[in-house]
Amino acid sequence: MPHLDQPLADLPADVTTVAMVTLGCARNEVDSEELAGRLAADGYRLVADAADADAVLVNTCGFIETAKKDSVDAILEAGDGGAKVIAVGCMAERYGSELAGALPEATVLGFDDYADIGDRLDDVLAGRPLVPHTPRDRRTLLPISPADRTRAAVAPSSPAIPGHDWLKRTRLTTGPVASLKLASGCDRRCAFCAIPAFRGAFVSRPVDEVLGEAHWLAGQGVTEIVLVSENSTSYGKDLGDLRTLEKLLPQLAAIEGLARIRVAYLQPAELRPGLLETIAATPGVAPYFDLSFQHSSPTLLRRMRRFGGTEDFLALVERARALAPEAGFRTNVILGFPGETEDDVAELERFLTAARLDAVGVFGYSDEEGTEAARLEGHLPQHEVDDRVARITDLVEELTAQRAEERVGSTVRVLLTDDLGGGTWTGHAEHQDPDADGTTTVSAVPEGAVPGQVVPALVTGTEGIDLVASCRVPVGAGADPA
C-alpha cells in the first residue's frame, strides 16, 4: 500500500503519482479514501501535494452554493501545476456534462466511474476522450456502491485487510479518528434538499462489511470511529431490520483497540427509543446526538416536508439527558426558508434557549435547482435572510458558551489527538465531534501518553465552546483503553 510521506526521490521514474483533494463532508472523505485505495491497487502512487502529482482528483461538494464555488476554485487551482485534473464527487455527479462544458480544464466523472477509477485515469493520462455523463435522478436507478449484494460476507471476527475485493481503502490522514460509512443515499424528501436526486435511494452496507472495515481501521491505529451516512437512523431498514444499528453498535464497541464509536447524522423523526437508549447507555459508544432539527417551528417544518417541532424536540433531548445527563447535542438550523415569519424565528429562539445544545450550525437558505423549495412562494429578500442568520448566530454563540460553562467541575473523557508539549494535549470529549464541536485542552497529562488514548480530566474552564481541563488521576499509557 502507498505511503503519503514516501519521498518522491524514492519512487521509480515510471510510477504515476496522484493527489486527492477533498471538499465537503466526512462522507466525501471516506469516498476519497476508497478512490485512493482503488488507485493504489491499480499501481498508482499517492502523494500529499498536488504540485508533485501527475494527476489530481478533486472530490467536489455540491451541497450549497458556497460549497460549489469552493469546488470550482479547487478544480482550477489543481491544474495550475500542469497536472491532469479529474473532477469527481457530488458536484461532478450532479452537473456532469454541464460542468465539463464550463471547465474544459478538467475531466468530469460520475459515481458510476468509481469502481473502474484506475481505468478511467488511464484513459485521461493516455489522452483517450471520455464523454461526460448526462445527470440523472439517481432515485430512479439501481442503488450505487457501497451495498453490492454480490460481495461475499466477511465474518465479524475476521480483520479486514487491504486486498480484499470489497475493501479498497487507503487512509489519507494518520490521526486516531476515522469515519466509516454506514450507507449511501437518502429516501427522505425534504423540500430544500437536492442530495437524494444525485446520491440516490438509501442503501445500507451489510453488517459484516461494516464490522470488517472497523477491524481494519482499528488495525491502522484508529481508536475512534465516526459512523456517517446521509441518514444513520435509516440504517438497516432495507436489510429487513430497523433495529440493525442498535445491534451493530455494541459489536463495534467490542472491537479490540477501539475506544469510542460515534454516530453522526441522526434524523429526529426516526430516532426510535431503542436506538436512543443504545447510544446513551452502551459502554464505548459516545452519548452524542447529532440531530438534524433544521428548525423548530411546526408550521415551517411542514413547509420543509419535515416532522416535529419545539415540544417534540425538547422532549427528545430530555429523554436522552435522562439516560445520559452529560450527553452531547449538535444540530443545524436553516434561516430564511420561503414563508418563514418572525413568529417562526421566535419559536426557533425559544427552542434553542430551552434545549441547551452544545453546538449549532446556522445556515441561510438558498435555492437548490430541482427542489420543491425553489418553487415555493414567500422567498425572503437576501438582506432579511442575512439579518436572521446573524441574529441566530449571535444567540447560538452565547448559548453554546453557556452550555460549555455548565460543564466546569465535571469529569470528561478526552481522546487525545495532539501533543502540545509539557504534558499538555488537545483532544475532544465524548460530547464533542472531532471536526465540528470544539476541542478540550488537557494539562497534566502523564508521560507516555499517545494519540488516540482516552484520559479522564476535570474541566476547569472554557474558551467559547472549547474546554480547558486537567487530568485528575494518574493515567499511564494504556491504563484507560476504553
Note the pLDDT tens digit of each residue in 220-237: 999 999 999 999 999 999
Cβ-proximal residues to 41 (8 Å cutoff; 6+ apart), any chain: 118, 162, 163, 168
The lowest-confidence range among 5-19, 197-211, 330-344, 444-458 is: 5-19
Which range among 93-97, 254-258, 466-470 shows the weakest confidence by mean pLDDT? 93-97
Q: What is the pLDDT of residue 141?
A: 67
Name the strand (E) or helix (H) holding 331. strand 328-335
pLDDT of residue 480: 43
The pLDDT of residue 439 is 97
Annotated binding residue 193: yes
Q: Which of 113-117, 181-185, 317-321 has the highest mean pLDDT?
A: 317-321
Beta pairing class for 183-184 and 177-181: unpaired
Banded pLDDT at 393 (limits 50, 70, 90): very high
More reliable by pLDDT, 235 or 69: 235
Helix (H), strand (E) at residue 56: strand 55-60
C-alpha 263/C-alpha 57 separation (Å) is 28
* In the predicted structure, residue 382 carries a pLDDT above the cut 70: yes
Higher pLDDT, 225 or 74: 225
**CA pair distance 207, 480, nearest whole angstrom:** 28
Amino acid code (one letter) for 320: A
Which of 180, 109, 184 minimizes the C-alpha distance to 143?
184
Predicted local confidence at residue 149, as pLDDT: 38
Answer yes or no: is 186 a known binding residue.
yes
Which domains are assigned to the chain?
A: 14-134 (3.40.50.12160), 146-406 (3.80.30.20), 410-471 (2.40.50.140)
Q: Return mean pLDDT, the chain.
A: 88
Whether residue 11 has pLDDT greater than 50: no
Torsions phi, psi for 326 (to 5 deg): -100, 15
Instruction: Say if residue 5's pLDDT is above 50.
Output: no
pLDDT at 161 > cutoff 80: no
Residue 72 pLDDT: 86
For the cut 80, the answer to whether the pLDDT of residue 454 exceeds it is: yes
CA distance 188 to 318: 26
156 has a pLDDT exceeding 60: no
Lowest mean pLDDT among 81-85, 117-121, 161-165: 161-165
CA–CA dist 149, 143 (Å, integer): 11
pLDDT of residue 199: 87
79 vs 347, residue with greater confidence: 347
* 61 among annotated binding-site residues: yes
In angstroms, rounded to a whole number, what is the distance separating the alpha carbons of residues 456 and 478?
Answer: 13
Give residue 6's pLDDT. 42
Neighbours of 141 (CB within 10 A): 12
Q: Are 334 and 363 within 8 A, CB to CB?
A: yes
Among 6-15, 154-163, 308-317, 342-351, the range scoring the smallest mean pLDDT is 154-163
d(CA 84, CA 86): 7
When pLDDT is cut at 50, 70 and 90, the band that residue 169 belongs to is confident
Q: What are phi and psi of 250, to 5 degrees?
A: -60, -35
The answer, yes or no, to whether residue 80 has pLDDT greater than 60, is yes
Instruction: Categorize the per-residue pLDDT at 9 as very low, low, confident or very high, splitting at 50, 70 and 90.
Output: very low
DSSP letters spanning 5-51: TS-GGGS-TTPPEEEEEE-S-HHHHHHHHHHHHHHHHTT-EE-S-GG
CA dist., res. 85 & res. 76, Å (int): 9
Strands (E), 160-259: 177-181, 183-184, 203-204, 224-228
pLDDT on residue 167: 67
Contact 261, 227 (CB under 8 A): yes
Per-residue confidence at 13, pLDDT binned at 50, 70, 90?
low
Q: How confident is the model at residue 154 (pLDDT cuts 50, 70, 90)?
A: very low
Q: With a cut of 90, say whether residue 163 has pLDDT above it.
A: no
In our burial notation (b when 16+ CB lie closer than 10 A, e otherwise), range 322-331 reads eebeebbbbb
Q: Is 471 annotated as a binding residue?
A: no
Whether the pLDDT of residue 159 is over 50: the answer is no
User: Would you say 416 and 425 are in contact if contact means Cβ atoms under 8 Å apart?
Assistant: yes
d(CA 146, CA 202): 10
Instruction: Return the beta strands (E) in 158-213 as ranges.
Output: 177-181, 183-184, 203-204
The most confident of 53-62, 168-177, 334-343, by mean pLDDT: 334-343
β-bridge mates for residue 466, sequence order = 463
The C-alpha cell at 394 is 449571535
